[in-house]
């Protein structure tokens, strides 16, 4: 581990201001950042510890929505009665992630910003455009079983590993930040994470020094049925090969609302309006689900080892829809 | 009284069977009992010191540097670029003396030395020393090294036709008998199927670690090793010093599974650095380095041929295997080893050919041979049973040989049939659907499978010293180790039984190469071998005690610290005066070839396969085992549970992934090298069938530590087939391989 300066922030504004210099990183739970620092994948000059900021509350707003402090541990968020009742997809996604010990430490903000699990990203002995721009992508033509099939570029085929973020994407969450100059921003989940394009080293649209203070969930979708289905290589302590966060509402025998987000497929939590569009207003049934699944993977591209994700994503979506609607 | 200074040695060579065992007449009644772990309280309270936990004044911290090329040569190492960093002391290397790869188990000479030439990615080429671990790690990552790259052989598939025949490894590389092709042509039923298994890593919880310190010309190394006696010899040879100049101490080992049988690269690096610096040096491998630079179980490609007559009795059996190892290394994964003796058949062909690859050393990992060989053989047996439409248990019952089919000698003991029958009954095997894909619960397809288990029984030369102190307590000393297996417990029970002591009145001192020589932990021989040496020492002590009492040993009873004879009882403490001691020594003899020695068992598994995703969850497993006398039912059971868990990993998740372009291992941490976690391990049940083996040793016990893994994975793959009708022959059975065979939604 490289030597670094360490500073503890007292307020969000102060934290943001003191992180304006390049080479500064916030540290929250540390469950991802510290691993990366030990391997020197991340070599910050300075850490600003935000873990003690008073951002660990889950509050219900007047509109019935929920505001989640960025320091709320994953375990607490998953166990919050309001979240369990009104946003079960989020609670389930959180519980599908990592392990009990990690969830106790991992924070809401840190979870959104965890880095990819691409093998090559974790090893400074190999080229990787995300770690070292311009060095090349080892995963293309290499071992890529766990990597992306949607939204990839010829520079990077990494996935975003979070489960929580997939549920938040389905729930249309908003991320609230404070910037180094004290300005606040509200960023829709849809815009928060990026696709790799030709700058895969940039995961999100956050600026240097910009601190996540809260995540807002809109007022709960009434009557919808929720599911988070995670397909993985072992029963726990494994990242998603494919995951689906689904909130579906059926009214008078027709699908009234459908929010579907996917993990394990892309550089960001994936959501495709066309998939939802195909479903909305229709009677649940197998042919319909197949059409939606076909749309989901229409532009999918495998890289050899991960080709199986294409049929897997299809099947997982269809089964999830069957489950939630009873449509066969 | 006896034993002042000099101790008498009671030796036994296993040339003849041992019809009686003193363990059957002991009065203390502790042998076999499921006693808690002797050293358990030390472990759970953190007082058991593992190698990496030793701290000495003025100690320097070392972090190893691994090569970042898969083949080639080190041109230069720019030490000066890092020695100016705060806290960094030096970069030490010795291109001639550093070992290139770990030693193999049981060797007494140094493993291959010389690290200038690079033969695998991650090969240790230097060690960086600093005042703190963090500073050393930082410098090790930053150290500039210039390489000359060479073309490497990284891809098994590309080179699998270029093979050589390695020298014998507990089993001959090639064995043939009769005419298998002919048998296949004439058989009523045949199976001819190929399987692959991937490279695996032992992934022991404790990483390899050494703390080295020199006192004048004598080295003491606290290291995490399975066989200190021989490891000290390997290290002395590597360093070019006398055997008596090296002492290895391994009081506690946090799992080895074969990866710590021989010295690993951190050993020589720490020893050499400590000498150069004139300070104690600690070198602990990073988890990634344990993957990169210790030992893997070789990948295999295996072809099984079975030729059966109309009743399902085997007339021919073929097991042809390909494995891989580094250029110049003799060891091969003896994948066909269990096939030699498990099933009958006059026509036999069992071969091992080696493919040379530039991947980290392949060596022993838990049940070398059987663990992967039975994944293939026992799946093929399931295929044969299906083809004949008979029950797989019945197929195995019909194939119980009376004599070893190759050596024509009897089995020392063999209770496979009892294991099969008890297992089938306990598990509820008769509820199994005979045709696949018949049972469905919601999205889950449910199936059952079984497999036989077999693991050869081995014996090493072993010595142990046992002393009865003036206080009446006993002390055992042997260089044997406890790698989590229960050695401390079983040795205290053997001495307790034979000397009439509560096992807690027995002090067990292990894991020091200065102590009586031991074959260590490996090959499931540890408990039987070191236990026999303790037995023999105790037998001698019993003679001495009887002599003091003036009676025949048989006329004396030892119980609760008292010696009882002729209606008188006397405390041991009084009887032994200044203390008495004896050495016990056992060595293999004619019984090795006069009979075929192995432990047996039967595995039963129930799995659920998700009809949508192909995910497999094991629902329950039962293992029934017979391994001679069980010395401690609790630690024995734990060994079997651990083995079965390894079986789950082998069947479903474990696989080292190498980049075929560079030879680099890509999944080299516990997040991505998937061993089973708690949620993957369901209700596991273990039963033992009572058995005694007179040919193995005076304990009448056989090896157990590797029996639980042998066959376990095949029971799971057979259950998967029964659940969903998909027969995958490339391990591990990850969902991507099952998915294409699943029905449409
Ligand atoms: C072995 C393992 C398995 C795992 N499995 C899963 C899994 O299955 N599913 C899953 O979803 N996750 C999994 N995780 C990841 C885990 O969820 C993340 O590590 C965790 O959520 C990160 O949160 P943290 O608070 O520890 O972040 P940190 O490590 O402290 O920070 C991560 C990043 O976020 C930045 N950051 C933190 N807080 C803020 C903030 N408020 N504003 C701006 N930037 C911030 C940091 O600068 C850093 O770059 C796993 C992790 C491990 C180690
Ligand atoms: S996929 Fe992305 S993260 Fe992985 S090696 Fe390529 S550039 Fe790096």
> In this predicted model, what pLDDT tens digit does every residue of A159-172 receive, in sequence order?
999 999 999 999 99
Task: Tell me the residues of chain B between 429 and 488 that have a Cβ less than 8 Å away from chain A.
Answer: 443
Q: Are residues B315 and B407 in the same domain?
A: yes
pTM passes above 0.95 = yes
CA B363-B111-B173 angle, to 5 degrees, is 45
Q: Are residues B138 and B281 in the same domain?
A: yes
A287 to chain B, closest Cα gap in Å: 11
With respect to residue A316, please indicate whether it lies within any of the assigned structural domains. yes
DSSP structural state of residue A194: -
With respect to residue A79, please indicate whether it lies within any of the assigned structural domains. no
Structure confidence at residue A223 as a pLDDT band (50, 70, 90): confident
> By the 8 A CB rule, do B572 and B581 touch?
no
pLDDT at residue B451 is higher than 50? yes
List the one residue out of A296, A221, A229, A214 whose CA is nearest residue A251. A221
Give the residue on A whose Cα is nearest the Cα of B656.
A143
With respect to residue A112, please indicate whether it lies within any of the assigned structural domains. no
- Average pLDDT over chain B, rounded to whole? 97
With respect to residue A31, please indicate whether it lies within any of the assigned structural domains. yes
The separation between CA B392 and the C-alpha centre of its own chain, rounded to angstroms, equals 28
With respect to residue A197, please indicate whether it lies within any of the assigned structural domains. no
Q: What is the Cα–Cα distance from B719 to B712, expressed in whole angstroms?
A: 11
B532-560 burial string, b = 16+ CB within 10 Å, else e?
A: bbbbbbbbbbbbbbbebbeeebeebebbe
- Residue A34 in contact with partner chain B when CB distance is under 8 A: no
pLDDT at residue B61, as a whole number = 98
Beta-strand ranges (E) seen in B21-87 are 60-66, 72-77
Of B293, B319, B342, the last residue of a domain is B293
With respect to residue A85, please indicate whether it lies within any of the assigned structural domains. no
Q: What is the Cα–Cα distance from B86 to B84, expressed in whole angstroms?
A: 6
Q: Are residues B357 and B262 in the same domain?
A: no
With respect to residue B170, please indicate whether it lies within any of the assigned structural domains. no
The count of domains in chain B is 3
pLDDT at residue A281 is higher than 90? yes
Quick check: helix, strand or coil at residue B191? Answer: strand
With respect to residue B128, please indicate whether it lies within any of the assigned structural domains. yes
Q: Are residues B289 and B313 in the same domain?
A: no
> Tokens standing for A64?
């019935």
For the Cβ of A163 lying below 6 angstroms from any atom of ligand 1, the answer is yes
Query: Across the interface, do B137 and A1 touch by the CB < 8 Å criterion?
Result: yes
**Which residues are bridge partners to B324 per DSSP?**
B355
Taking the centre of ligand 1 as the mean of its atom positions, its distance from the CA of residue A291, in whole angstroms, is 35
Of B537, B554, B588, the last residue of a domain is B588
pLDDT digits (tens, 9 = 90+) for A304-316: 999 999 999 999 9
Domain that holds residue B94: 52-151+202-293
- Average pLDDT over chain A, rounded to whole? 97
Taking the centre of ligand 1 as the mean of its atom positions, its distance from the CA of residue A26, in whole angstroms, is 11
pLDDT at residue B443 is higher than 50? yes
Which of A2, A237, A312 lies closest to B677 in CB terms? Answer: A237
Q: How many CA atoms lie within 13 A of A188 on its CB side?
A: 6
- pLDDT mean over B495-505: 98
DSSP for B333-371, written as a single string: --TTTTHHHHS--SEEEEEEEEEE-SSS-B---SSTTHH
For B95: left if phi > 0, alpha if psi spans -120 to 50, otherwise beta; the answer is alpha
Q: Are residues B375 and B354 in the same domain?
A: yes
pLDDT at residue B1, as a whole number = 35
Q: What is the Cα–Cα distance from A184 to A179, expressed in whole angstroms?
A: 6
Task: Tell me the residues of chain A between 256 and 285 that have a Cβ less than 8 Å away from chain B.
Answer: none
pLDDT digits (tens, 9 = 90+) for A147-195: 999 999 999 999 999 999 999 999 999 999 999 999 999 999 999 999 9
Domain that holds residue A289: 225-325
For the Cβ of A159 lying below 6 angstroms from any atom of ligand 1, the answer is no
pLDDT at residue A222, as a whole number = 81
Q: Are residues B400 and B485 in the same domain?
A: no
Q: How many CA atoms lie within 13 A of B169 on its CB side?
A: 28
- How big is the A-B interface in CB pairs under 8 Å? 96
pLDDT at residue B37 is higher than 60? yes
Q: What is the Cα–Cα distance from B191 to B12, expressed in whole angstroms?
A: 45
H or E element that contains B603: strand B598-610
* Number of C-beta neighbours around residue A124 at 10 A: 16
pLDDT digits (tens, 9 = 90+) for B455-490: 999 999 999 999 999 999 999 999 999 999 999 999
For the Cβ of A325 lying below 6 angstroms from any atom of ligand 2, the answer is no
pLDDT digits (tens, 9 = 90+) for A48-105: 999 999 999 999 999 999 999 999 999 999 999 999 999 999 999 999 999 999 999 9
Which of B658, B736, B739, B741 would best serve as a mutation to test chain A binding (most A beta carbons within 10 A)?
Answer: B736
Query: Across the interface, do B613 and A316 touch by the CB < 8 Å criterion?
Result: yes
Which of A142, A231, A236 lies closest to B677 in CB terms? Answer: A236
- Residue B408 in contact with partner chain A when CB distance is under 8 A: no
With respect to residue A37, please indicate whether it lies within any of the assigned structural domains. yes
Q: What is the Cα–Cα distance from B305 to B191, expressed in whole angstroms?
A: 5
Q: What is the Cα–Cα distance from B68 to B82, expressed in whole angstroms?
A: 17
Does the annotation mark B109 as catalytic? no
Q: Are residues B132 and B246 in the same domain?
A: yes
Q: Are residues B574 and B487 in the same domain?
A: yes
Domain at A309, CATH number: 3.30.390.50
> Tokens standing for B30?
């502790």
DSSP for B7-18, written as a single string: -EEEEEEETS--
With respect to residue B710, please indicate whether it lies within any of the assigned structural domains. yes
Check whether the bond before B732 is cis (ω within 30° of 0).
Answer: yes
For the Cβ of A146 lying below 6 angstroms from any atom of ligand 2, the answer is no
Of B278, B293, B308, the last residue of a domain is B293
pLDDT at residue B500 is higher than 50? yes
With respect to residue B39, please indicate whether it lies within any of the assigned structural domains. no
pLDDT at residue B724, as a whole number = 98
B87 to chain A, closest Cα gap in Å: 11
The separation between CA B92 and the C-alpha centre of its own chain, rounded to angstroms, equals 33
> Tokens standing for A317?
């979506």
Q: Are residues B565 and B683 in the same domain?
A: no
Quick check: helix, strand or coil at residue B502? Answer: coil
Q: What is the Cα–Cα distance from A270 to A190, expressed in whole angstroms?
A: 9
> Tokens standing for A261?
């987000």
List the one residue out of B582, B370, B564 whose CA is nearest residue B464. B582
List the one residue out of B465, B53, B95 whose CA is nearest residue B272. B95
Query: Across the interface, do B676 and A234 touch by the CB < 8 Å criterion?
Result: yes
Longest Cα pair distance anywhere in chain A, in angstroms? 63
Which of B614, B735, B745 lies closest to A318 in CB terms? Answer: B745
Q: Are residues B409 and B508 in the same domain?
A: no
Atom of ligand 1 nearest to the CA of A212: 42
Q: Are residues B484 and B362 in the same domain?
A: no
> Tokens standing for B676?
């089973």
- pLDDT mean over A23-31: 98
The alpha carbon dihedral of A145, A147, A151, A157 has a sign of: negative
Q: Are residues B344 and B244 in the same domain?
A: no
With respect to residue B12, please indicate whether it lies within any of the assigned structural domains. yes
pLDDT digits (tens, 9 = 90+) for B379-434: 999 999 999 999 999 999 999 999 999 999 999 999 999 999 999 999 999 999 99
pLDDT at residue A2, as a whole number = 81
With respect to residue B441, please indicate whether it lies within any of the assigned structural domains. yes
- pLDDT mean over B705-727: 98
For the Cβ of A138 lying below 6 angstroms from any atom of ligand 2, the answer is yes
* Crossing angle between the packed helical segments B370-388 and B712-724, to the nearest 10 degrees: 30
* Number of C-beta neighbours around residue A6 at 10 A: 10
> By the 8 A CB rule, do B658 and B668 touch?
no
pLDDT at residue B625 is higher than 90? yes
pLDDT at residue B6, as a whole number = 58
A82-110 burial string, b = 16+ CB within 10 Å, else e?
A: ebeebbbbbbbbbbbbbeeebbebbbbbb
The count of domains in chain A is 2
- pLDDT mean over B569-578: 96
Between A213-227, B498-512, B575-589, B591-605, the lowest mean confidence (pLDDT) is in A213-227
**Rounded alpha-carbon distances, angstroms, from residue A95 to A69, A104, A116:** 18, 11, 19
List the one residue out of B69, B674, B63, B143 whose CA is nearest residue A126. B69
With respect to residue B86, please indicate whether it lies within any of the assigned structural domains. yes
pLDDT at residue B2, as a whole number = 39
The alpha carbon dihedral of B174, B176, B179, B180 has a sign of: negative
For the Cβ of A159 lying below 6 angstroms from any atom of ligand 2, the answer is no
Give the residue on A whose Cα is nearest the Cα of B618.
A235
With respect to residue A162, please indicate whether it lies within any of the assigned structural domains. no
Name the CA dihedral angle for B381, B382, B386, B390, rounded to a multiple of 10 degrees: 80
- Residue A43 in contact with partner chain B when CB distance is under 8 A: no
> By the 8 A CB rule, do B733 and B715 touch?
no
Quick check: helix, strand or coil at residue B460? Answer: coil
Structure confidence at residue B4 as a pLDDT band (50, 70, 90): very low
Domain at B271, CATH number: 3.30.365.10
Q: What is the Cα–Cα distance from A129 to B343, expressed in whole angstroms?
A: 54
With respect to residue B182, please indicate whether it lies within any of the assigned structural domains. no
């Amino acid at each position: 581990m490289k030597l670094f300066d360490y500073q503890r922030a007292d307020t969000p504004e102060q934290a943001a201001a003191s992180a304006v210099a390049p080479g500064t990183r916030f540290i929250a739970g540390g469950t991802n950042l510290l691993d990366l620092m030990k391997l020197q994948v991340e070599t910050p000059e300075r850490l600003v510890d935000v873990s003690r900021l008073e951002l660990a509350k889950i509050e219900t707003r007047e509109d019935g929505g929920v505001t989640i402090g960025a320091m709320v541990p994953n375990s607490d968020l998953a166990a919050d009665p309001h979240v369990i009742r009104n946003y079960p997809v989020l609670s389930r996604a959180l519980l599908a992630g990592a392990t009990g010990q990690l969830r106790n430490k991992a924070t809401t903000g840190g979870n959104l910003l965890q880095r990819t699990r691409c093998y090559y990203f974790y090893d400074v002995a190999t080229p990787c455009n995300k770690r070292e721009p311009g060095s090349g992508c080892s995963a293309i033509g290499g071992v890529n079983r766990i990597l992306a099939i949607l939204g990839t570029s010829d520079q990077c085929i990494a996935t975003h590993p979070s489960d929580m973020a997939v549920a938040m994407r389905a729930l249309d969450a908003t991320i609230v930040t404070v910037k180094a100059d004290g300005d606040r921003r509200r960023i829709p989940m849809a815009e928060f994470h990026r696709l790799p394009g030709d700058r895969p080293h940039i995961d999100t649209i956050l600026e240097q020094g910009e601190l996540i203070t809260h995540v807002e969930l809109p007022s709960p979708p009434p009557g919808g049925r929720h599911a988070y289905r995670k397909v993985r290589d072992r029963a726990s302590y494994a990242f998603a090969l494919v995951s689906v966060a689904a909130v579906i509402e059926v009214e008078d025998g027709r699908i009234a609302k459908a929010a579907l987000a996917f993990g394990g497929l892309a550089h960001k939590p994936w959501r495709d309006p066309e998939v939802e569009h195909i479903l909305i207003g229709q009677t649940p049934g197998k042919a319909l689900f197949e059409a939606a699944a076909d749309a989901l993977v229409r532009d999918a591209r495998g890289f050899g080892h991960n080709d199986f994700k294409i049929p897997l994503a299809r099947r997982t979506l269809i089964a999830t829809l069957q489950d939630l609607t009873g449509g066969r | 009284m006896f034993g002042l200074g000099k101790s008498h040695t009671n030796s036994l060579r296993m040339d003849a069977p041992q019809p009686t065992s003193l363990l059957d007449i002991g009065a203390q009644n502790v042998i076999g009992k499921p006693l808690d772990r002797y050293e358990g309280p030390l472990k759970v309270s953190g007082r058991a010191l593992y190698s990496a936990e030793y701290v000495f004044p003025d100690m320097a911290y070392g972090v190893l540097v691994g090569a970042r090329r898969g083949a080639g040569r080190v041109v230069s190492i720019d030490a000066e670029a890092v020695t100016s960093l705060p806290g960094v002391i030096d970069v030490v290397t010795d291109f001639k003396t550093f070992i290139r790869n770990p030693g193999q188990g049981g060797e007494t000479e140094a493993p291959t030395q010389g690290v200038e030439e690079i033969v695998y990615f991650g090969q240790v080429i230097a060690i960086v020393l600093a005042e703190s671990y963090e500073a050393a790690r930082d410098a090790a990552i930053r150290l500039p090294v210039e390489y000359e790259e060479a073309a490497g052989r990284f891809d098994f598939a590309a080179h699998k036709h270029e093979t050589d025949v390695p020298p014998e490894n507990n089993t001959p590389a090639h064995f043939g008998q009769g005419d298998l092709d002919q048998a296949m042509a004439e058989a009523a039923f045949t199976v001819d199927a190929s399987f692959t298994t991937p490279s695996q890593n032992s992934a022991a919880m404790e990483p390899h670690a050494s703390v080295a310190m020199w006192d004048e010309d004598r080295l003491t190394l606290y290291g995490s090793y399975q066989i200190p006696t021989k490891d000290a010899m390997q290290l002395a040879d590597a360093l070019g010093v006398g055997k008596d100049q090296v002492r290895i101490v391994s009081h506690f080992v946090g799992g080895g599974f074969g990866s710590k049988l021989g010295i690993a690269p951190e050993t020589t690096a720490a020893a050499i650095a400590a000498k150069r610096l004139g300070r104690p040096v600690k070198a602990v491998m990073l988890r990634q380095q344990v993957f990169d630079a210790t030992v893997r179980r070789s990948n295999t490609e295996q072809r099984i041929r079975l030729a059966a007559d109309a009743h399902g009795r085997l007339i021919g059996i073929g097991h042809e295997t390909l494995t891989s190892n580094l250029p110049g290394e003799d060891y091969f994964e003896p994948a066909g080893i269990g096939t030699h003796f498990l099933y009958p058949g006059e026509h036999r062909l069992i071969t091992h050919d080696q493919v040379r690859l530039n991947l980290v050393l392949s060596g022993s990992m838990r049940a070398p041979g059987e663990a992967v060989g039975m994944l293939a053989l026992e799946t093929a047996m399931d295929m044969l049973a299906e083809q004949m439409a008979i029950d797989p248990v019945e197929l195995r019952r019909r194939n119980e040989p009376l004599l070893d089919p190759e050596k024509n000698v009897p089995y020392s003991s063999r209770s496979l049939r009892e294991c099969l029958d008890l297992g089938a009954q306990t598990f509820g095997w008769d509820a199994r659907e005979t045709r696949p894909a018949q049972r469905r619960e919601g999205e889950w397809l449910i199936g059952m499978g079984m497999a036989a288990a077999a693991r050869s029984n081995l014996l090493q030369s072993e010595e142990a010293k046992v002393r009865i102190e003036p206080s009446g307590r006993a002390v055992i000393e042997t260089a044997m180790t406890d790698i989590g297996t229960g050695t401390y417990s079983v040795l205290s029970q053997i001495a307790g039984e034979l000397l009439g002591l509560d096992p807690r009145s027995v002090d067990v001192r292990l894991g020091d190469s200065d102590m009586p020589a031991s074959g260590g932990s490996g090959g499931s021989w540890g408990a039987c071998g070191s236990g026999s040496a303790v037995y023999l020492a105790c037998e001698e002590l019993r003679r001495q005690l009887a002599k003091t009492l003036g009676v025949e040993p048989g006329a004396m009873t030892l119980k609760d610290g008292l010696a009882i004879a002729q209606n008188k009882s006397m405390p041991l403490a009084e009887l032994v005066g200044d203390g008495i001691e004896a050495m016990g020594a056992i060595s293999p003899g004619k019984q090795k070839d006069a009979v075929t020695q192995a432990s047996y068992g039967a595995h039963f598994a129930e799995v659920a396969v998700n009809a949508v995703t192909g995910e497999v969850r094991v629902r329950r497993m039962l293992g029934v085992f017979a391994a001679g006398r069980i010395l401690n039912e609790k630690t024995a059971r734990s060994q079997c549970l651990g083995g079965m868990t390894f079986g789950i990993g082998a069947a479903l998740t474990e696989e080292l992934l190498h980049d075929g372009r560079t030879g680099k291992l890509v999944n080299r941490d516990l997040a991505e090298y998937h061993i089973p976690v708690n949620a993957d391990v369901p209700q596991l049940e273990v039963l033992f069938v009572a058995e005694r083996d007179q040919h193995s040793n005076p304990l009448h016990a056989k090896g157990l530590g590797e029996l639980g893994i042998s066959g376990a994975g095949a029971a799971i793959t057979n259950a998967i087939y029964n659940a969903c009708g998909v027969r995958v022959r490339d391990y591990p059975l990850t969902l991507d391989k099952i998915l294409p065979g699943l029905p449409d939604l």
